[in-house]
Amino acid sequence: MRNKTTYACQACGHQSARWLGRCPGCGEWNTLLEERAEKPAKSVRGISGSGPVPVTDVIITQEERYSTGLTELDRVLGGGLVPGSLVLVGGDPGIGKSTLLLQAAAALAARIGKVLYVSGEESAQQIKMRAERIGALQGELLLMAETDMSLVEKVIKESKPRAVILDSIQTVYYPEVSSAPGSVSQVRECTGILMRIAKGTGIPVFVVGHVTKEGTLAGPRVLEHMVDTVLYFEGERHQAHRILRTVKNRFGSTNELGIFEMRGQGLTEVINPSELFMNQKPEAVAGSAIIPSLEGSRPLLVEIQALVCPTGFGTPRRMTSGIDYNRVALIMAVLERRVGLRLSTHDAYVSAVGGVKLDEPAADLAVALAIASSFKEKPLQNNLVLVGEVGLTGEIRPVSGMDKRLHEAAKLGFKHCIGPAREQQMQKMGIIEYIGVQSIQEAVEAAIGR
């Protein structure tokens, strides 16, 4: 009997009886691939062996989190690795995902016992070479080079490790699903198996996921919905530091950042990231401003640089790096309307130094004054930080976590802060001199002058 075929979208998982150039589900072009439709796999025992119970009768047990041995990784996980959790780690090729997880695997093996590291991309010899280079040799760390998910499942049940790492989900396949590894059906089925293992046995599982050229996780969106935690490992190829960012976390905050530095011996944790980003800050240069950003519970001082110059074309050019383009355009419109800066005839280039991505409104004031400083060709006063949200009417709105921001700024030697007038009580704390302003016009006059 001839097997029936379907066409599945590799972006969203939508299935169609015939091939279409554009997916009806997500609107992406040329993402439908042919897959053979077969009978569903044999039923698998569910996660819970019991029926429904009243919520008042559920007993909560406080399970101790596992420390991965990497403080920065523990931070983004919400304080450590939760038993039975399924963690997805994504990032560009060569950014250091395998190195990070191999270091974490060795540290976990030394702390809690047997850890299984499964690779579908490298042989055991290649993994050992990396382990020797980064000092991750542990007798309790088990290596397995395999792409057959049924064999991986069997080994996990037999060896009973304390933690499992799979690198990567796009390289493994389940034999009862006929489509190729990395397809929607295979990713969904293999992730489902890992989820049942994690929830049914309490073994925490790390899964590495590939990313597309747009920087999003490859495969169906259901992959991110099935896991408990999604981490993105980011960084510029030409820079040594890496940023581990939480996108989803059922057991902690989604705003945490972990900072690492790539060296010949592997990844090392950056204890004071603010100092790392500020060690090459120029002195008394127009167009430079400092923002005490707050990523989750971590204050982080970041330099924002702006370059404003007369345009040579009819339409001025705008470019941003690490800062939302539309937000910069909005701030420039406020500066032109409320402060009187003729920015419509000038090109503007704004960047967050060090490859950091700032998406919080508290960076508005620093962006605005960096642009104003470059336009007026006047540097901001020394030892000054700026924090505040800029509204469309030019008002400076308060932001959260002001005490943490000022403590971090004072620790690095900054003595002045310009921020919202509503936070004037910060002056009484005596951390640093606090200058409260109500409008963007006042902030420009206080930092640059008329």
The predicted structure's pLDDT at residue 296: 75
Is 95 labelled as part of a ligand binding site? yes
pLDDT tens digits along 88-128: 999 888 889 999 999 999 999 999 999 999 999 999 999 99
416-420/229-234 β-pairing: unpaired
Is 364 labelled as part of a ligand binding site? no
pLDDT tens digits along 158-194: 999 999 999 989 999 999 888 888 888 888 899 999 9
Does the CA dihedral 426-324-440-410 come out positive or negative?
positive
What is the pLDDT confidence band of residue 18, given thresholds at 50, 70 and 90? confident
Is 96 labelled as part of a ligand binding site? yes
The predicted structure's pLDDT at residue 43: 43
Burial class (CB in 10 A: 0-12, 13-18, 19+), 400: exposed
Is 419 labelled as part of a ligand binding site? no
- What number is the average pLDDT over the span 80-95? 92
3-class secondary-structure state, position 119? strand
Is 128 labelled as part of a ligand binding site? no
Element (H, E) at 295: strand 288-295
Is 202 labelled as part of a ligand binding site? no
- What number is the average pLDDT over the span 337-349? 94
> In terms of pLDDT, which residue wins out, 254 or 215?
254
Is 292 labelled as part of a ligand binding site? no
Rounded to two decimals, the pTM is 0.78
> In terms of pLDDT, which residue wins out, 9 or 420?
420
Residue 42: pLDDT above 60?
A: no
Q: Are the CB atoms for 83 and 77 separated by under 8 Å? A: no
Is 98 labelled as part of a ligand binding site? yes
The predicted structure's pLDDT at residue 38: 52
